[in-house]
Amino acid sequence: MGNETITLLSKREIEKMRRAGQLAAELLDHLAPMIQPGISTLEINDEAERWTQAHGAISAPLGYHGFPKSICTSVNHVICHGIPNEAQILQDGDIINIDVTPIIDGYHGDSSKTFFVGTPSPVAKKLVEVTEECLKRGISAVGPGTKIGDIGAAIQEYAEGHGFSVVRDFVGHGIGREFHTAPQVPHYGTKGKGKRLRPGMVFTIEPMINEGTYEAVVLEDGWTAITKDYKLSAQFEHTIAVTEDGVDILTLP
């Protein structure tokens, strides 16, 4: 996670982050129509890479600590960091999280969304809807003077109130010129605890919500994290900036 020093970004830097964030949002919108039964996760990856290059940007995940692809594609019981491959064909009823991070002009725009493939099961539909609302509630807890624990508390209360669990092993993070910096932003926690938020802080909120246990297992590839009980997991992510009077979502189209 880099060192523990939190970098505050200037208004000019936040505008650069917004440009990168908008690119991330546009990329997810561009990929959405491809997400159909019968397509491979590698085809989605390759189109993401083509589009990113065509827009003068770089895919941050590609080669990051050895990650082999341009985006993460996490299907069904994969929590995060799923590696696209040609053998993984999407099926009707699957859910897939697509996580993209283009770099433009040196700044990272990090966003992810969970999509339905065809028609979801009732539990998958509920899980995805609750996870998206968890992100909204986490963002609503942000403002100058609030605490990092407020974010996690808002997410955890909503997820667990619907019978789901919050992943502990992976958290949101500071972001800017570097992909992952301080602070760490857990999606569980206690209101009023943790670092105080200040204008100029930029970080991701990216709750991973599981149907069953929150426990995760990382596969032998060193990346793919799955639910310990093989039940479903969903995730949504935005990059946000703390402002003088609230919060600014940088990864909106």
The answer on whether 81 is annotated among ligand-binding residues is yes
Question: Measured between alpha carbons, how far is 44 from 112 in angstroms, rounded to an integer?
Answer: 14
206 is annotated as contributing to ligand binding: yes
Determine whether the annotation assigns residue 173 to a binding site: yes
Q: Is 110 annotated as a binding-site member?
A: yes
CA–CA separation, 167 and 41 (whole Å)? 24
Contact between 20 and 111 under an 8 Å Cβ cutoff? The reply is no
Establish whether 187 is an annotated binding residue.
no
Q: Which residues contribute to the annotated binding site for substrate?
A: 81, 180
Q: Which residues contribute to the annotated binding site?
A: 81, 99, 110, 173, 180, 206, 237
Q: Which residues contribute to the annotated binding site for a divalent metal cation?
A: 99, 110, 173, 206, 237
